[in-house]
Amino acid sequence: LLPFLGITFGFPKNMGQMLAMTKLSQHVYPIVFVWPGSINLGYSYASKASASDINQESVLKLVSGLKESGITRVHFLTHSMGVQTFLGAFQDKVDDSGKITGRSEVSKYFTLAPDFDDSQGPKEGKRQQYQQQMTCKSITLLNPDFPVRAFVDRAFLSIRRVCQTVTVVGDRNDRALGFSSLINGVVPKVFGYQQPAVLKPNEYNPKWEFMERIGRSISSLHFDHSVVDEEEFRHMLFNKSASIDLTGVAEGKKSGNRFWLDIDVIDMTGLDTNIKDMRHSGFSLNSMLLKDLQELFSTGKRAMKRSTLLYREGNQFSFAHAPAFVSQ
């Protein structure tokens, strides 16, 4: 279990609480990757540092060390800004035109997901494998502070090619990510701040806009029909049918012009126990979420087959739990 924690204040303690309240196997070894962060006025600097080349090089050294130590299976867990370092490390190599030319050095340490079809992608992305690669068992992004458009355009593909079980845990009322969406929409434009490449979508708008984060805008994790058709979408990504509807049409009921990303999106908006007012760090104390994470790490099951979740639509799930205000 390899957690990426983007803001250091209190989160190592929260990580310890999470591990103490779950019954994970004794064979699970938590290795925490953390760096000096900041909040409030230092937020923009912390964001730039999280996606920096230095951090990405450090991740490469860590992953290389895991392989040399004989580790064969890895679960990745990120919280908040930690996702920026994580996705930066997996960022694909591109040429001047933006076309993918190869996998990142970190990505090459992991086998391709069994259901992945990247025949239209870079040479390293085909079915060829590298010797003695590790297996990425799961990738879990808790309250991820990452722009929606950049994730849909590029980042999703870079991690989905190495892992079948990618989970986003978000909250529609996450106040910290609400502030982040506003700050990242204003600061780069007003002060001329250049965001790291991993945070930019394919079509970057230099004007002011509300920069939605995937941990808050959890209904936006999909492709549009206007961008890609169904045949092209499936050929580009997968050669096996998914366990849930990804086409935007379920049992004859239209749900818009959407191709849902093949990830599990867990909506924790309805949870209200042991979650602070900011609704940004309930992963360490909320029993419902902890139970689901324990089942995920222990069994590797997708959300559709886990015991505490209810399917909603597209790639979205919620907890089988009634809010506190519901009574008989």
pLDDT for 302 equals 94
Give residue-wise pLDDT tens across range 62-105.
999 999 999 999 999 998 888 999 999 999 988 887 788 889 99
Question: Does the structure show a pLDDT above 50 at 167?
Answer: yes
Give residue-wise pLDDT tens across range 194-225.
777 888 887 766 566 778 899 999 999 988 65
Give residue-wise pLDDT tens across range 217-230.
999 998 865 555 55
Give CA torsion, residues 20, 22, 23, 28, to 10 deg. -80
Task: Report the pLDDT averaged over residues 15-24.
Answer: 80
pTM > 0.75: yes
Nearest to 284 by CA among 153, 125, 169: 169
Rounded CA-CA distance 247/255 in Å is 9
pLDDT for 120 equals 45
Rounded CA-CA distance 290/57 in Å is 31
What phi-psi label fits residue 282: left (phi over 0), alpha (psi between -120 and 50 degrees) or beta?
alpha
| Tokens standing for residue 47 | 């964001």
Give CA torsion, residues 244, 245, 251, 257, to 10 deg. 160
